[in-house]
Amino acid sequence: MSPRPPLLRWLPLAALLVLLAAAALLVYAGRFWPAPPAAPARSPEPVDLVESALQRVLQRTPGAAQRARGVAVRPFAPAASAGSAEIAGGLCDALTLPLVRIPTLRVVPCSATRQPVAAALDDARLARLLAVSHVIGGSVEALPGERLRLRLAMQPAPGSDRPGWQIDEEMPLADLQGLPQRIAAATGQALGQALERPAGAAAATAPQAMLPPALYTKYLRAVQLGQRESIADWRASLGLLDEVLASAPEHMPSLYVHWTVRGRLAGNRDPNAPPPSNEQMAAEREARRVEGLALAERALAADPDDLRGHWLLTSTAVVERRWADALDRLDAILQRHPLLPGYSAVAARIHLHVGYLERARALALAALQVNALDPAALEVLALVAGMRGEDALHRELLELARQVGHTGLGYSDLIEAHRRADWPEVERRLTAWVTWGGKYKADWVPGYVRGLAEPAQRDAAVATLDAMDPATRRHFASYFIEYALLGAHERALQSVQFHATLPPAVWMQWLWWPELAPVRRDPGFVPALQRLGVTRVWEQRGAPELCERAGADWVCR
């Protein structure tokens, strides 16, 4: 799904990233500062700018953090001993699922608090920025003899009316798998709420379902590698998971991560390798669909509330063009678990794919109420603002998304610069988008930007896009946006029509830019959406903002 659902970075670079983020924020903020007065004055800190922007976007009132019941999980500091970093990072990530079992508790996971703007704050300021009542943090040290030293605590924020808890003990490495559930139970007790125990929880924590300590640490490491942005890391993740599954072939968490990472690799093939045929890709997609359904059935049979199982079914429904089923499932999950971190942002993006701009905006705002540092939700908000012609808000939201760690804003960034006719910035941003991940070259970008800036160069730019090899064209959705910006609307439509023959993908969220209005008005546009199954969801859920009924047909503008 989108960038991303991708995205985001580690402790050895933390100090450098904090400095870079601070520098970027200072540059952005400079145009708001008055000329220096005669006497030195204190300038706003970068986090102040982020906080004030979030207050405007979320319309927060003073004291929101004190009234909120929520926890933010900070990355656990690892000791220098071998294995400490993997255990600390894995334990932090593993805490989210059991914590969200506490009814009415809002959880900000450590994937958000790893970001530089959060990492630079003390607990009190972090709690205020995220509007939470408690912060979980501490340190983890791997000891000789397969033992751990834990110093963890849940600290109440200033003004909170509930105490926290502390763990300061040595424990066997074998007890690590049960630690997230133990921490969640302690958190629920401190907050006066019992942990929900699903039907399959006993089976999931039974001795036969537990991995040996050495395999469990490999699993934790694989999860972290699978969340990064590098193909090499994804391959390393699969290697570790293969080792785990060779000894424990029924370990559901490993099976799920394995399925997910293989999907990322399938969508980011080596451009130097021979491209697969359409038949090969279709066979791979079908095998993946069948495998995903089997995993979902197993997960939900053990626990009807298993979020991984529901996500697998949602993903399958999208691939099969059953948009209404996907949206119904997401609605049901969010109705039962409205405070799940990340799920409202996923729902927002899927609504955006099928043209429901205002519903996408509402869901993205709901996601930010759960986790104010959710870069995916900020990206969706920026996309909707840009699609609605709200240029100043679009620009502010893009900058805010960058400040909280988003690294792949892509076409949204490009179009913002294009609207200002800032051609050097258009070239810089398109180059960054094309080369993101290090897989594709951008030597064609300067000529393309000349085509945007100079009408006499447009035919040459179109010819450059026409000459791209099929595998690269397919990766970039056949350049339908690049064609549209050049005014080559017929070619842009042909690209949309070609991709409508393939399974739905993230390119669909970009169909609704004002710059694509001539493409949407073409009689060939709606049949492409019919092939994608989009018009069926309109018939069931109502018309989107940019399309309407015209007798028995649909027309878009």
- CA nearest 352: which of 316, 388, 319? 388
Residue 466 lies in a domain: yes
Indicate whether 547 and 418 sit together in one domain: yes
Residue 25 is predicted with a pLDDT of 26
Of 109, 119, 107, nearest to 68 by C-alpha is 107
224 lies in some domain: yes
What residue has token string 């985001």? 8
Q: How is residue 522 written in tokens? A: 């073409």
Nearest to 370 by CA among 332, 336, 340, 347: 340
* Claim to verify: residue 298 and residue 417 sit in the same structural domain: no
Distance CA 33, CA 521 (A): 44
> 3-state SS of the chain: helix, strand, coil percent to 5?
60, 10, 30
- The whole-model pTM stands at 0.82
Quick check: is 82 in a domain?
no
Copy the structure tokens of residue 396: 């502010």
Classify residue 162 by its DSSP letter. Answer: S
294 plus 435 within the same structural domain: no
Note whether 421 and 399 are within 8 A (CB).
no
Domain annotation covers residue 381: no
Low-confidence stretches of the chain (pLDDT < 50) are 1-43, 198-208
- Same domain, yes or no: 292 and 430: no
Closest C-alpha to 237, from 225, 228, 251 = 225
Q: Which two tokens stand for residue 170?
A: 């040595």
pLDDT at 269: 66
Interatomic CA distance for residues 462 and 490, integer angstroms: 11
Q: Which residues contact 277 (CB under 8 A, 6 or more apart)?
A: none
Q: Which helix (H) or strand (E) holds 488?
A: none
Q: Phi and psi dihedrals of 159, rounded to 5?
A: 90, -10
Rounded to the nearest 10°, the torsion over CA 492, 539, 309, 110 is 60
359 in a domain, yes or no? no
User: Residues in the chain, how many?
Assistant: 557
Return the pLDDT at 64: 54
CA 274: distance to chain centroid? 30
* Per-residue pLDDT, 402: 87
Residues 6+ apart with CB under 8 A from 18: 116, 119, 120
pLDDT value of residue 201: 43
The DSSP symbol for 545 reads: T
Tokens at 405, concatenated: 């760690």
Task: Output the pLDDT for position 243.
Answer: 95
For residues 409 and 400, what is the distance between their CA atoms, to the nearest angstrom? 11
Under a CB-based contact definition with an 8 Å cutoff, are residues 68 and 131 in contact?
yes
**C-beta atoms surrounding 270 within 10 Å:** 11
Structural domain of residue 296, as residue ranges? 213-270+277-302
Residues 287 and 426 both lie in one domain: no
Say yes or no: 297 and 423 in one domain.
no
Determine, yes or no, domain membership for 265.
yes
Same domain, 552 and 418: yes
Q: Answer yes or no: is 546 within a domain.
A: yes
Q: Confirm if 166 and 192 have CB atoms less than 8 A apart.
A: no
**pLDDT score recorded for residue 358:** 96
Bridge partners of residue 152, in order along the sequence: 138, 167
* pLDDT score of 267: 67
Number of domains in the chain: 2
**324 and 541 in contact (C-beta within 8 Å)?**
yes
Nearest to 445 by CA among 471, 421, 425: 425
Torsion angle (degrees, nearest 10) of CA 295, 298, 300, 303 = -130
For residue 449, give the DSSP letter: H
H/E stretch holding 293: helix 278-302
